[in-house]
């Protein structure tokens, strides 16, 4: 089977690496891909939102399965585009349709969904510019810190947590009346602050049945000790050591099953990954967010721990046949440490030559923001550049291997966190 992966990050490289190991795979295409995916398949210079170009490629290359990595094309309706096209409707698209993608695309939609299906989450209310005053009243009824979320997609920047009431009111005004995050903050969700440790769970579902993938924890802040600005993610580990059997059981019964059942009750079809962002409060899982795709860099530790053939699982998802599938997970731990460009997540330079990737035999180096020049050299091409993944008998051993490998890699102004896993 010919397969197309849409996206260009470490997540897409990890998925390409895994699909490449499948006997079911014929040709692999990645749009637009990066220097890492170019070694596993054919990169196509197509924007993830250019559905027409994607259609032309799918038909020209006889592609039968499309896996959508990032959220934007899903929220824009790429799956619906395929279903409504006579020539494309038989192609399997892994990633939900537009309505279901609202679980990530609209915080308000997600909160209403959780409320309707009694899925544990923080108390909340949502506001628009027509009821800012009620927003102030609601903020006054809460204890600090205050959590304000732009309803729509805001490239990971739409959640603001503030210690002080006046600051929170000013932020609400800024989001609603000044549209600080544009269209995305026309509606703002204000919610109760939850204090606890976070982790993420992932499933692959055909809308009715699902398989659970390994769980993971990511490290979002740029600075050591979880200080500084939020990033796309600076590292991840899997499995999460504090997630014991009892806690995982609670997640399954109180969060995962009611979510899949809730989608069915609401008549919302869903084929693809669901990412559950969870926080542990008094030993109970609460949902912080849903994502309608895999996480990045979580994928770089989750995928290497899947022993089963991922393409088989994706085909079964497309055929509504997950009921008959199981998934085998590697017992070992996996960790990844992200190498980023100096300055990231603020301004940074691109085009730096990367050396030493070939000298990392104890790790798997997944490319994120990389490209190749005409001389065949690998160059930095984004803020997050490489994800250095390793296995170990526990996360400490795996991390040791990742940090050892990193010593062999360099590019100008390379930066990374030296304390992944510090809080465990
Ligand atoms: P989100 O984009 O919804 O995942 O939020 C980004 C981050 O904000 C989360 O990973 C949490 O660390 C934090 N966060 C979101 N909602 C809450 C909440 N209700 N209480 C505490 N922290 C939160
Ligand atoms: N690492 C968090 C995300 O992918 O949204």
Residue 75's domain is classified under what CATH number?
3.40.50.20
CA of 159 to the centre of ligand 1 (A): 7
Write down the pLDDT at residue 179: 87
Nearest CA to ligand 1 atom 19: 193
Query: CA 165, CA 303: separation in Å to the nearest integer?
Result: 42
314 Cα distance to chain centroid: 17
Write down the pLDDT at residue 323: 95
Write down the pLDDT at residue 118: 98
Q: What is the pTM of this model?
A: 0.96
Write down the pLDDT at residue 165: 95
Nearest CA to ligand 1 atom 3: 289
**In a domain? residue 305:** no
Query: CA 298, CA 272: separation in Å to the nearest integer?
Result: 16
Write down the pLDDT at residue 178: 87
Which segments in the chain show pLDDT lower than 70?
A: none
Domain end point (choices 77, 95, 113): 95
**In a domain? residue 290:** no
Measured from the alpha carbon of residue 159, the closest ligand is 1
Do 91 and 7 lie in one domain? The reply is yes
Domain end point (choices 165, 191, 217): 191
CA of 298 to the centre of ligand 1 (A): 17
How many domains is the chain built from? 2
Write down the pLDDT at residue 156: 75
**In a domain? residue 77:** yes
**In a domain? residue 263:** no
CA of 289 to the centre of ligand 1 (A): 7
């Amino acid at each position: 089977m010919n397969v197309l992966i849409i996206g260009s990050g470490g997540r897409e490289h990890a998925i390409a690496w895994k699909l490449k190991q499948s006997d079911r795979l014929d040709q692999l295409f990645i749009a637009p891909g990066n220097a890492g995916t170019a070694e596993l398949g054919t990169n196509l210079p197509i924007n993830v939102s250019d559905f027409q170009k994607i259609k032309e490629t799918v038909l020209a290359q006889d592609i039968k399965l499309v896996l959508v990595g990032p959220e934007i094309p899903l929220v824009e309706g790429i799956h619906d585009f395929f279903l409504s096209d006579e020539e494309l409707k038989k192609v399997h698209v892994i990633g939900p349709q537009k309505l279901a993608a609202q679980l990530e695309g609209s915080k308000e939609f997600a909160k209403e969904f959780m409320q309707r299906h009694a899925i544990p989450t923080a108390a909340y209310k949502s506001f628009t510019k027509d009821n800012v005053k009620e927003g102030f009243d609601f903020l006054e009824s809460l204890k600090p810190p205050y959590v304000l979320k732009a309803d729509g997609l805001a490239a990971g920047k739409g959640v603001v947590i503030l210690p002080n009431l006046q600051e929170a009111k000013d932020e609400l005004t800024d989001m609603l009346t000044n549209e600080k995050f544009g269209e995305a903050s026309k509606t703002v969700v204000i919610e109760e602050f939850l204090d606890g440790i976070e982790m993420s769970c992932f499933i692959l579902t055909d809308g009715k049945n699902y398989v659970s993938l390994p769980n993971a924890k990511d490290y979002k802040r740029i600075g050591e000790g979880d200080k500084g600005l939020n990033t796309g993610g600076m590292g991840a580990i899997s499995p999460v050591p504090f997630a014991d059997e009892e806690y995982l059981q609670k997640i399954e019964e109180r969060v995962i099953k009611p979510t899949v059942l809730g989608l069915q009750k609401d008549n919302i079809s869903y084929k693809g990954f669901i990412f559950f962002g969870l926080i542990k409060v008094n030993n109970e899982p609460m949902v912080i967010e849903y994502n309608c795709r895999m996480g990045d860099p979580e994928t770089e530790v989750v995928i290497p721990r899947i022993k089963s053939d991922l393409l088989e699982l994706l085909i079964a998802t497309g055929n509504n046949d997950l009921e008959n599938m199981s998934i085998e997970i590697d017992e070992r731990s996996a960790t990844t440490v992200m190498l980023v460009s100096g300055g990231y997540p603020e301004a940074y330079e691109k085009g730096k030559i990367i050396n030493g990737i070939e000298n990392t035999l104890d790790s798997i180096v997944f490319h994120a923001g990389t490209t190749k020049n005409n001389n065949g050299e690998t160059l930095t091409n984004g803020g997050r550049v490489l994800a250095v993944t390793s296995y170990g008998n526990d996360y400490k051993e795996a991390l040791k291997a990742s940090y050892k490998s990193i010593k062999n890699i360099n590019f100008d102004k390379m930066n990374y966190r030296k304390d992944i896993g510090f809080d465990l």
